[in-house]
Amino acid sequence: MVFAILVWSLIAAQDDSTYVVKGKIVSVEGSTIGIETADGLVEATATKKSSIQVNGKKGDIKSLAVGQDIEATVDKELDVIKSLVAKGVAQPSKPELFRLVELETQETTSAPWPSEDALTIYYGIEGKSEWWIWRASRKSTDATFSNPQKLLPGGNPSVTADGKRMLLIQMATAAEPYGIYESVFKEDVWTRPKRIQEFPNGSCRPCISADGLRIHFDVIGWQKPHLFMYSSRKSLDSKWETPRRVPMAGDLENDLGFIFVSKNQKTMLARALTKEMNGTNLMLLRRSDVAEAFGSPSFIWVDGLVLNGNFPRYVEKTKELYFSAKRDAANPNSVGSIWLLKGFDPAMHVKKASSP
């Protein structure tokens, strides 16, 4: 089976039985063709009867490569590709991995939250007795971060696009378990964080939308399954609606955590506890519609290696993946650092997982 994921857009229906899509091949692996549209993932199948043309010459499924432009005619009823035309030579980019040493202290730095232009980063510094949220900035995406500022007690920051609303957690106590808090930037200061009472005990690792009206988050506890939840509110001053579970395929909830959900809510990044790769690996999941379950798990795969870590956060505009991981992978007692993978493409730098 050849599996290919294509970025595509619907052009026109040729007749009542077919439609035409065009876009770019972003992975090839099967004979079932998965097509990732601007709105999500669709699947069709290329067969021996499919007419395939590559760079003006007759080809077959093996002729297709990542990076080629493609136009395909698909049978609506059978989900079979009747014909396709591919052009170009695959030229996948090679991402670069950096440790953000400019943010480091003697304690663990973790939970990065980059702004939409990636010129500002919020993050946590975790001491033995207290946690604090910090912010640093840079002048360009090629520059290092500088001017770190201590903002609020807490961790797991998640900030709106305008930089004026922050969701966070505070250290748990016997009397008050983990919960999500909100702070507002007013008159050049952050207000004292207030606990969001609509969310259950154990809520943490918030992922807020750019406008501050939607949230996805983890709920941790002593009992499985691990829960992923989402909620929304009508305005920034409204109460949050009762949280609902994020639908997950199979038993994926048991093995994932530290989720990050894309703007269109159809791509999820997470940390996975996997037997397949023997570790805490970064994973990508997809769904074709917001009402469907997240599935199709793939490992973040760079230079033949799967990335280990947690708190994955992706900036689409700059193609940068931020995450937390040990400063020294060979030392089990190493403190954590923040890492940056520049040039990361969620469609290309992944390897399909055979199991969660």
Residue in 174, 176, 156 with CA at minimum distance from that of residue 166: 156
CB-count burial class (<10 Å; 0-12, 13-18, 19+) for 281: buried
CA–CA distance, 356 with 43 (Å, rounded to integer): 21
Give the CA distances from residue 145 to residues 56, 263, 340, in Å, rounded to whole numbers and listed in that order. 48, 25, 12
Predicted local distance difference test score (pLDDT) of residue 354: 63
Residue 99 is encoded by which pair of tokens?
């440790």
Give the CA distances from residue 93 to residues 66, 96, 303, in Å, rounded to whole numbers and listed in that order. 11, 10, 11
Residue in 299, 302, 292 with CA at minimum distance from that of residue 256: 299
Mapping DSSP to helix (H, G, I), strand (E, B) and coil, where does residue 254 land?
helix
Predicted local distance difference test score (pLDDT) of residue 225: 58
Predicted local distance difference test score (pLDDT) of residue 100: 97
Predicted local distance difference test score (pLDDT) of residue 222: 54
| CA angle centred on 208, ends 140 and 167, rounded to 5° | 95
Instruction: Return the exposure string of 75-112: e unless at least 16 CB atoms fall within 10 Å of the residue's CB, then b.
Output: eeeeebbbbbbbeeeeeeeebeeeebeebbeebbbbbb
CA–CA distance, 312 with 339 (Å, rounded to integer): 10
CA–CA distance, 247 with 268 (Å, rounded to integer): 12
CA 350 to chain centre: 12
Predicted local distance difference test score (pLDDT) of residue 212: 97
Residues of the chain predicted below pLDDT 70: 1-15, 26-29, 33-42, 90-93, 174, 222-225, 274-279, 354-356
Predicted local distance difference test score (pLDDT) of residue 64: 79
Yes or no: say if 339 and 100 are a contact pair by the CB < 8 Å rule: yes
Predicted local distance difference test score (pLDDT) of residue 35: 65
Predicted local distance difference test score (pLDDT) of residue 230: 96
Q: What is the pTM of this model?
A: 0.77
Predicted local distance difference test score (pLDDT) of residue 302: 82
Predicted local distance difference test score (pLDDT) of residue 60: 86
End-to-end, the C-alpha distance of the chain in Å comes to 20
